[in-house]
């Protein structure tokens, strides 16, 4: 497949031949039924440069084209903010988020978020695209975040995240020495009814699984450098889980940190690994650590 102007062009291989457009888009490409219906209504599907219906059959070497790269509203107010790009192509963008900023606005008029900066980055690069984040990081957490550039990439990346095919590796600086060097925390997380933003381990909560490995222990400061991977994506999951075993992240006052040697939680999304949803290539990016964490690493 290749981009031709505003269209993604797919040359039908032998093993996709003799199937309908609908079958190929949903079963072979992985688009949702709702997305295919939307494309059909918007006349965004072509067969051999002619408008196609989803019930049309395709043959070997036919050309199937999707109008993916169209002009869209950003969805947020573009604002000049520093953006560190880790990976970019026609389908997705991965950036290194700074600490201290929200991933996206919580109200239409809000600015100062990573999404506002992404919109400005698109604008400066003559790309008028909707800003589509695939996952979020807490305001004070830094590191790698994935954005989709069109609706098909958004659907496929969302599905990959749900199926745990996108691997995210975090580094945290935790208080004390963990009893185990390596292990899994499997504790459900729910809302804390006594605090609007805090979460807690709760039998009535959603299942949450965090795998951890201690990479280094600093005895004179009684700090552990911990690598973590998530099987689930609950709000504040790593922060809640480390606090629940008696090792809160330094600077994380909300979850009981006593060491305030940093003015935020020392948590960084250090690496993202995935199979590209459209090219099939393995993509692995690492996000440089912020300056306030470097002295401990």
Parallel, antiparallel or unpaired: strands 267-275 and 142-148: parallel
Q: How many CA atoms lie within 13 A of 82 on its CB side?
A: 7
The catalytically annotated residue of 62, 102, 138, 140 is 138
CA distances from 266 to 8, 58, 201, 252 (A): 41, 53, 21, 8
Which tokens belong to 152? 């098909």
Q: What is the DSSP string of 60-103?
A: TT-EEEE--S-----SS--------EEEE-SSEEEEEEPTTS-S
Place of tokens 């606090």: 243
Q: Give the containing element (helix H, strand E) for 283.
A: strand 282-286
138 is catalytic: yes
- Among residues 114, 151, 139, the alpha carbon closest in space to that of 235 is found at 139
Give the chain's end-to-end CA distance (angstroms, integer): 43
Active-site residue list = 138
């Amino acid at each position: 497949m290749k981009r031709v102007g505003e269209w993604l062009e797919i040359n039908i291989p032998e093993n996709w031949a003799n199937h309908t457009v609908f079958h190929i888009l949903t079963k072979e490409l992985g688009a949702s039924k709702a997305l295919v219906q939307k494309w059909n209504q918007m006349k965004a599907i072509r067969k051999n440069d002619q408008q196609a219906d989803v019930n049309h059959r395709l043959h070997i070497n036919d050309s199937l084209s999707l109008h993916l790269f169209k002009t869209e509203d950003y969805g947020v107010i573009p604002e000049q903010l520093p953006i560190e790009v880790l990976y970019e192509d026609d389908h997705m963008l991965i950036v290194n988020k700074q600490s201290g900023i929200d991933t996206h606005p919580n109200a239409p008029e809000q600015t100062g978020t990573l999404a506002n900066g992404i919109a400005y980055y698109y604008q400066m690069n003559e790309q008028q695209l909707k800003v589509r984040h695939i996952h979020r990081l807490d305001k004070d957490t830094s590191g790698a975040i994935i954005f989709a550039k069109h609706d098909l990439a958004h659907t496929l990346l969302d599905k990959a995240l749900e199926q745990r095919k996108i691997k995210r590796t975090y580094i945290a600086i935790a208080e004390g020495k963990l009893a185990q060097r390596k292990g899994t925390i499997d504790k459900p997380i729910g809302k804390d009814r006594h605090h609007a933003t805090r979460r807690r381990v709760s039998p009535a909560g959603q299942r949450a699984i965090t795998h951890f490995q201690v990479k280094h222990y600093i005895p004179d400061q009684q700090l552990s450098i911990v690598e973590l991977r998530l099987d689930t994506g609950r709000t504040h999951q790593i922060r809640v889980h480390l606090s629940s075993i008696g090792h809160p992240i330094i600077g994380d006052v909300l979850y009981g940190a006593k060491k305030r040697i940093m003015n935020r939680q020392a948590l960084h999304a250090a690496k993202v690994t995935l199979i590209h949803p459209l090219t099939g290539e393995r993509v692995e990016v690492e996000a440089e650590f912020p300056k306030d964490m470097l002295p401990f690493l």
